[in-house]
Amino acid sequence: MEPNHYHHDAQMRDESMERSLRYQAACIWPREKLLFSRLREEGLTRVLDMGCGTGEIASRLASEIHFPQVVGIDIIEERIRQAQDQYAHIGNLDFVHGDGEHIPFKDASFDLCVNRHVLQVVPDPEAMILEMARVTKPDGLLYILGEDYGMLHLTDLANDWFWQMAAQKAMQKNTHLTIGRQVPEILYRLGFQRVQSHTIALDTLNTDRELLAQMFKAWKDGYAQFLADMMAIPSEQAEAHFDRLIAASQDPSRYLVWHVPVFLAENQRN
């Protein structure tokens, strides 16, 4: 494995990532909204959204869930400027440029620290989780949505083979394509004992098929070549994999499901 190094800068800056974040939010948010609403009812007020990207979810936490103060942080300055411009009208929302492993806030600054779609692309997920814990109050919560592409299933087993191979190769690039299933054990190793799971199931029965198709198209545009290079396979082979996902999403006779694990950890460590 290479030394700790971030390999996703080009993908994060590409316009396909903006589309990916938008369509992922459109698919996942209706289920997440219920969970965040319950957290708001518990009295949590100050929220940090780590790796906020374009601010899509941070804006919803502020405007739809009505957390009194929401702060989004991202390492890509252009994304922060974009979010600041787009959501300047939301008074309880701020955006800050910063590194998720060195968050520019004091200890115990937030009631809730949110980390969505981020851990799979950072070299050291444990370091990021510890930094989340540092800026979260002792009685606060860590919220982690960990993508796991091994939990994305077609009836065609070739899809499972592709992601198994990709996950093995990705580890050499400090990329964790099955981070979702690893999060609980990481939390346990770090001393967190009170962990809850809230798995979200997106499938072609409960989610708009075209939204799923557009999400997979964005993935293809942003990551097909990256995965092909990493796996040492022809780019056409990687693209064909995403084409199968798109086709299954759009064909009313086909079925597809993606299980998206979400974990809540109380910020108390042994």
Please check whether residue 76 lies inside any domain of the structure: yes
Q: How confident is the model at residue 13 (pLDDT cuts 50, 70, 90)?
A: low
Domain span including residue 109: 9-148+176-204+257-266
Query: pLDDT tens digits, residue range 18-69?
Result: 898 899 999 999 999 999 999 999 999 999 999 999 999 999 999 999 999 9
pLDDT digits (tens, 9 = 90+) for 155-201: 988 788 899 999 999 888 888 999 999 999 999 999 998 999 999 99
Q: Please tell me the total count of domains within the chain.
A: 1
Q: Read off the pLDDT band of 149 (50, 70, 90).
A: very high
Q: How many residues does the chain have?
A: 270
Give the per-residue pLDDT at 173.
80
| 142 vs 131: CA distance, rounded Å | 11
All residues at 6 or more sequence positions from 207 whose CB lies less than 8 Å from its CB, including other chains: 27
Predicted pLDDT at 267:
97
Please classify residue 209 by burial: count the beta carbons closer than 10 Å to its beta carbon, then call 0-12 exposed, 13-18 middle and 19+ buried: middle
Question: 16 lies in a domain?
Answer: yes
The pTM is what?
A: 0.92
Position 11 scores a pLDDT of 56
Write down the pLDDT at residue 17.
Answer: 81
Task: Look at residue 3 in the predicted model and tell me its pLDDT.
Answer: 43
Give the alpha-carbon dihedral of 130, 132, 135, 136, to 10 degrees: -110
CATH code where residue 81 lies: 3.40.50.150
For the segment 67-90, the average pLDDT, to the nearest whole number, is 96
In a domain, 163, yes or no: no
Q: What is the pLDDT of residue 171?
A: 85
Residue 120 phi, psi dihedral angles, 5° rounding:
-70, -20
The mean per-residue pLDDT over the stretch 113-123 comes to 94
Contact 257, 248 (CB under 8 A): no
* Residue 212 within a domain: no
The mean pLDDT value of the chain amounts to 92
pLDDT at residue 5 above 70? no
How far CA 5 is from CA of 8, 101, 118, 121, 226, in Å, comes to 9, 13, 15, 10, 16
The first and second tokens of residue 75, run together, are 């390492």
Q: What is the pLDDT of residue 12?
A: 57
Residue 194 lies in a domain: yes
> Is there a domain that residue 251 lies in?
no
| pLDDT at 15 (0 to 100) | 77
Q: Which residue has the higher pLDDT, 110 or 164?
A: 110
Residue 229 confidence (pLDDT) above 70: yes
Q: Considering the domain boundaries, does residue 118 fall inside one?
A: yes
**Which segments of the chain does DSSP mark as H helices, in order?**
9-13, 15-41, 56-63, 77-86, 125-135, 158-170, 179-189, 209-231, 235-250
| In-domain check, residue 228 | no
Q: Residue 10: its pLDDT value, please?
A: 57
Q: Which residue has the higher pLDDT, 129 or 16?
A: 129
Q: Backbone dihedral region of 12: left (phi > 0), alpha (psi from -120 to 50 degrees) or beta?
A: alpha
